[in-house]
Amino acid sequence: MYLAMPVILYRLAFRGLRNRGYFKRWLERFGWFDAHIRSSIWVHAVSVGEFNAAMPLIEALLAAHPNDTMVVTTITPTGSERVVKRLGSRVFHVYLPYDLPSAIKRFMARVRPRIAVVMETEIWPNLYFACKSSGIPIFIANARLSERSLRGYGPAIALMREAVQCADLVAAQSHGDAERFRRLGVTEDRLQVVGNIKFDMAVPTGLDAEAAGFREHWGALRPVWIAASTHEGEEAAVLQAHARVLGRFPDALLILVPRHPERFRAAIGLCRSFGFRTASRSEDTLAGGDSQCFVVDTMGELLKFFACSDAAFVGGSLDAIGGHNVLEPAALGKPVLTGPHTFNFAEVCETMLRDQALIRVQNGAQLGTQLIRVLSDPALAERLSAAALGVVERERGAVPRTLTLIAAVLAGAAYGQTINQSSNSTSAM
């Protein structure tokens, strides 16, 4: 890791050319920051998606441990902005330091965690070894491990196996994830399937009223669809799909939400290059009555734009990126569409497909065809909406199960009885 630091710093600076946030707070990335906390509960969520998933758990931990400082770390500036916006002074937030022994030692000395709750798939060997040697329990929450990620460890798999074996408990999203963690070396007594925390997301109050206000502004009766968390390679396909939709519904509006801030300006330019009348959140606040595309070039507002849409396409799925969170539009009762590449949410998407709560398309042409089908058939849209809500309601409950297991780890209790009780409640997952 020390030898790799010049490359890591070069990459950090290169990313700063596209997102200026990467040029700031470099000292935190080496464990230098002003804090001397006596006792903390530490949650690490790498970026926006992981933090959004962690929010119900963080709220539950804040309520359960009022005498401990809640420390929340991220790696990306967008994740950092989201923590500050959502939790403010209720938590202590810094960047997670690089996986260097000296930086980790400084971080640990300043925050003194009673437990490390690591979201999803973050495995940093030196960090895990440091926690283990210091007697700090590691709890991997909402743990997922795709087949592709497992293969991607390649020659480093022995090191990753040694690191993950430091975890006191791995709370897997699904039986498939659990099986892959077994193959990575996690033993049965440290592995439990609890379900996906993202099913437990809370819908903010007042969201429907805000969405209705948006629609009133640009035309309440217009067909509106959203393409969320899109990547560079698939945005052209999304716009081709919109051209098809406009052929059937000339007043249709596309809400385009690029995944990464560095894509905002390029996405606006791409929409205009297709000849679409395009507005943006930062320049125009809302789409106008004559807008054909509306680019959301701000962070943290995805839910409200899901809420004001008639159908939702979730990106990162037309190209082999792995897909993003389909549960947010599902929890809002929206017909959901994805591309073929959803290995990051494989079990969730298979469940929704089985329950006819999801439409999978192969390319932009199919996306346009299926959107026209959904937007022209209110009965079909209603069936998809009801099925999506049904899946979300049926699968809720991972947060309280996770909280129970964290309490057991903190108490130093044997896992047996707790895990057996949790297994009975999650056997259908």
Which residues are part of the catalytic machinery? 50
Q: What DSSP line would sit under 83-118, residue for residue?
A: HHHHHGGGSEEEEPPPS-HHHHHHHHHHH-EEEEEE
CA 144, CA 175: separation in Å to the nearest integer? 10
Here the tokens at position 71 are 């420390």
Q: How many CB atoms within 10 Å of residue 427?
A: 9
Residue type, 308: C
CA 413, CA 420: separation in Å to the nearest integer? 14
CA neighbours within 13 Å on the CB side: how many for 72? 30
Residue 330's nearest CA partner among 309, 344, 316 is 309
Q: Which helix (H) or strand (E) holds 214?
A: helix 207-218
Residue 357's nearest CA partner among 393, 308, 306 is 393
